Amino acid sequence: MLENLEEHIKVLRETVKVYEEDIAHIANECSRRLKNGGKIYLMGNGGSAADAQHMAAELVGCFNKKNRKALPAIALTTDTSVITSVSNDFTYDYVFSRQIEAFVTEKDIVIAISTSGNSKNIVNALIQAKKKNSYTVGLSGNNGGEMNTYCNKNIIVNSTKTPIIQEVHLFIEHSICNIIDNQF
């Protein structure tokens, strides 16, 4: 168990060291866009879907600052009617891009979470978000995958182990929320 913990700590430390400025930039960009009437849209599959919902909850509810106003953050993973209708009428590959097409504007920020960086529905959504001129952020693993092409900033956790990638993503998400909290 300690060996596993040491590996997690090592990957977390390396990721934060490499991307500390980018994480701060992303948080500041989120705050800037929120202050200018934008929204934050989040998405992911499986555990990354749970991360998207978790981060949205921290922003709409509160992270550390209980007296700040609610911030508009929406997880595109929660509307089962939309998810199942798009999956049925098109394919699951378009479950997020259709929502991006319907809701996102150039004022918004889109955060895509994928441990592989290659999930087709995530890549399609990022392509759509770029068409809408929104700011795109990736949280990925491995080598960043295809998401690298479509993200303004892609934080790549240098690991191929999904649990490690997800745990580092959660730390980054909480770091972003903390910076945003301090700006409202």
Chain segment 113-137, per-residue pLDDT in tens: 999 999 999 999 999 999 999 999 9
Mean pLDDT, to the nearest integer, of 9-37? 97
Whole-number pLDDT of residue 102: 98
Mean pLDDT, to the nearest integer, of 38-64? 97
Does residue 2 have a pLDDT over 80? no
Could you give all domains of the chain from N- to C-terminal order, each with its CATH number?
Answer: 27-181 (3.40.50.10490)
Q: What is the pTM of this model?
A: 0.96
CA distance readout (Å), 14 to 10, 20, 40, 58, 105: 6, 10, 27, 25, 34
Mean pLDDT, to the nearest integer, of 90-105? 98
Whole-number pLDDT of residue 66: 83
Whole-number pLDDT of residue 3: 77
Does residue 39 have a pLDDT over 90? yes
Whole-number pLDDT of residue 51: 98
Does residue 4 have a pLDDT over 90? no
Mean pLDDT, to the nearest integer, of 47-55? 98
pLDDT category at 79 given cuts 50, 70, 90 is: very high
Does residue 1 have a pLDDT over 80? no
Whole-number pLDDT of residue 141: 97
Does residue 27 have a pLDDT over 80? yes
Whole-number pLDDT of residue 22: 98
Reported as a single tens digit per residue, the pLDDT across 124-176 is 999 999 999 999 999 999 999 999 999 999 999 999 999 999 999 999 999 99
